[in-house]
């Protein structure tokens, strides 16, 4: 719902009054001091939030390092398994070749 031009004009004319009413009649100097105090509190909270974010990022980095180490361990295990399977394959191939050779030799003598 869009505001009409008259509504916008009304808001502009009364905005200063409303802000003055909200300050509860405090002088501008007191209001400025309160604003500065609020700004200091906000800055301190932002500093605290930055520190919390840094700690969170450090924890995430440590977790990634742990996961990376785990992947390296799994890779080593797969390499060992592949070596064992290769050896077993060659033994099986040798056994089959020997068996075929013995069968051919037995058939020649018969």
| Mean pLDDT of the 76-88 span | 93
Check whether 23 has a pLDDT greater than 70: no
Task: Give per-residue pLDDT as tens, 32-62.
Answer: 888 899 999 999 999 999 999 999 999 999 9
CA 42-44-50 angle, to 5 degrees, is 100
Of 20 and 63, the structure prediction assigns the larger pLDDT to 63
Of 12 and 53, the structure prediction assigns the larger pLDDT to 53
pLDDT category of residue 75 using cuts at 50, 70 and 90: very high
| Mean pLDDT of the 19-37 span | 73
C-alpha to C-alpha distance for 43 and 34, rounded to whole angstroms: 14
Distances (CA, A) of 110 to 20, 73, 87, 99, 107: 119, 56, 35, 17, 5
């Amino acid at each position: 719902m869009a505001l009409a031009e008259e509504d916008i004009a009304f808001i502009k004319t009364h905005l200063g009054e409303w802000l003055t009413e909200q300050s509860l009649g405090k002088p501008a100097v007191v209001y400025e001091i309160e604003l500065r105090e609020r700004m200091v509190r906000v800055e301190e909270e932002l500093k605290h939030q930055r520190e919390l974010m840094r700690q969170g990022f450090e924890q995430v980095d440590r977790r990634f390092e742990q996961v990376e180490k785990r992947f390296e361990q799994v890779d080593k295990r797969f390499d060992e398994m592949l070596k064992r399977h290769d050896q077993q394959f060659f033994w099986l191939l040798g056994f089959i070749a020997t068996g075929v050779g013995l069968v051919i030799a037995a058939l020649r003598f018969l």
